[in-house]
Amino acid sequence: MKSISIVGLEKNTGKTETLNYVLKKINKTIGITSIGIDGESIDQVTSTPKPEIEIKEGTIFATTEKFYKQKRFTSEILSIEDDLRTSLGRIVIARALEKGKVILAGPQSANKIKILIDRLIKYGAELVLIDGALSRLSPASPVITDAMILATGAALSLNLNELVKKTKHIVNLIQLDESELNEQLVNLEDGIYVIKDNIEKLPINSLLSFDKLEKHILEYGEKFYITGALTDRFIKYLTKQKDLSNIELIVKDFTKIFLTPETYNIFVKKGGSIKVLKKTRLIAITINPYSPKGYVLNSQEIKRRLKDVIDLPIINVREDELCLN
């Protein structure tokens, strides 16, 4: 495992605290960057204080020129990446010569983040951490990182039943089975494909225009590969059918699925199934019982309820040891 994304289900679910904990506990040379911006001392949306990213001596970090100049600790520049420009300047890769706080800002495209991970490894990082930006699951794509940690908590919902339901829903999507057709599908160009004895492309480029087809999509076949987003609207359209027991939808990975728990559950109860070309390796869930509105949920109760439905380490990084084996 060479890279881990740390993704929050909502703002203030403890993503940065999780990141700081991993940075502190892992005895490896860590490389770190962000998809987007993270590490500011004040939340730009809520104007409330937030934890800053603290790196230790020897950490290899990547951020933009603007934020590199703002840091207040000594570091050694390893590279300035002209081909990885952002609106905040070029990406600087540097090694910290002492501990300190830094604002991380990296490329927002998946391809550029993947390139940056390779370069952090080239400069000596044994494990690269990707800090996911606000409510974005994209860095957790298995195409980008090898594994992920999911941060959830009171900021997602103060209603414990809702918190558990929403977290379990995302875990269900992350743990969808892989399709046995990976090799035949992985290199197809963008579009919607029907899979029968052969694989045929439908005359639409995305599910945004499925209602432009000349006939109901299920008249074309029962198994489909969708390269783009799998939307709630499309699944609601399918669930108007009484029986979906032979319907299988295949997407690249869970980050392409945008379904509410209710819509997904109806689809599955009617017999439909969703598979992915590549599965993300979810290694732990961290919880933050503190809401930015000032409320605090019972940490032990959150853990107990999540452990009842999710077979993964559930960790409060302020109380527990983190296990990444």
Contact between 141 and 156 under an 8 Å Cβ cutoff? The reply is no
For tokens 């952002």, what's the residue? 86
> What pLDDT is recorded for position 222?
96
What is the mean pLDDT of the segment spanning 170-185? 95
pLDDT-based confidence at residue 325 (cuts at 50, 70, 90)? very low
> What pLDDT is recorded for position 44?
54
> What rounded mean pLDDT belongs to the chain?
89
Give the separation between CA 19 and CA 202, rounded to whole angstroms. 43
pLDDT over threshold 90, residue 191: yes
Contact between 7 and 173 under an 8 Å Cβ cutoff? The reply is no
Give the separation between CA 200 and CA 96, rounded to whole angstroms. 52
Q: Which residue has the higher pLDDT, 154 or 136?
A: 154
Closest CA to 303 of 282, 281, 284, 325: 284
3-state class (DSSP) for residue 182: helix
Share of the chain above pLDDT 70, in %: 91
Contact between 248 and 275 under an 8 Å Cβ cutoff? The reply is yes
pLDDT in tens, 101-117: 999 988 888 888 999 99
Give the separation between CA 38 and CA 320, rounded to whole angstroms. 24
pLDDT in tens, 41-71: 555 555 555 668 899 999 999 999 999 999 8
pLDDT-based confidence at residue 277 (cuts at 50, 70, 90)? very high
